Amino acid sequence: MQTLIYEGLQLNNGDSKKVKDALVVEAALQININSKPYTVVMRTPGDDFELIRGLFYAEDIYKNKENLEFEIIEKRENGFSIINTKISKVLLGKGYLNKRTLLSVSSCGICGKQKLEDISVEGKKLVTTFNFDSHKIETMFSEMKLQQETFELSGGSHAAALFNSSYELINVKEDIGRHNAVDKVIGELLINQSIKNANCLLVSGRVSYEIISKAFIAKIPYVIAISACSTLAVDFAKEFGICLIGFSRGKKATFYS
């Protein structure tokens, strides 16, 4: 259930008519760890297991290679769901130990952070000898667009796509939230244990801090956005060793790091 049909009244040059539009679904997902509520994520239903896997990886809650077992506790017709996963206490990372109660809305990837230190990311700077071909960008975005079925219907969803070092599309995920789409696309590769194949992350909107941090944790050295980049995204991309490219439209693109 990615979209639903809603009625509206469309105004056009003084005239009005009733229309039926496909709107992208936004619904709450409650994530439980060991049968206890951990967080609520506002997302577009679908690929929930991948979303959780990617989110846990990015938030340093669970980084082991072994896959998790998920149990659907509740699944309502409106898309609201509760999913539980069991994780041994010895495998829970710092992200869980620094547990915070939060509502992660679809437009904000760092909602619920309690301290400035919570937005820092540790790790060695990425180093790559790959010689990126900027002429491939337009084709890569075209391939991603062909997979954006929800956006084609509603015009209201974001997409994230991963490509390998041969510029081959690995997978695409859509969601109402930019960072949710990134979690889903990374989460699927984590489940398939093929995250090492990811070389380039494309996003359909702007890039801010949280998307750069997710790419860094997953060791993805190239991030390309169709829209703008924030100051913090550029600063962290430089610090993390990530090549960040914004305003990638047609044959134009701006390299920020």
Interhelix angle 231-240/209-217, nearest 10 degrees: 20
Interstrand relation of 158-163 and 103-104 (parallel, antiparallel or unpaired): unpaired
Which helix (DSSP H) or strand (DSSP E) does residue 48 occupy? helix 48-58
* Burial state string for 179-189 with b = 16 or more CB within 10 A and e = fewer than 16: bbbbbbbbbbb
217 bridge partner residues: none
Q: Which position among 108, 111, 200, 243 bears the catalytic label? A: 108
Q: Please work out, in degrees rounded to the nearest 5, the angle formed at the alpha carbon of residue 116 by the alpha carbons of 218 and 109.
A: 45
Q: Please work out, in degrees rounded to the nearest 5, the angle formed at the alpha carbon of residue 124 by the alpha carbons of 137 and 190.
A: 60
Is 108 assigned a catalytic role?
yes
104 bridge partner residues: 41
φ/ψ (deg, to 5) at 213: -65, -40
φ/ψ (deg, to 5) at 139: -65, -40
φ/ψ (deg, to 5) at 89: -60, -30
Residues labelled as active-site residues: 108
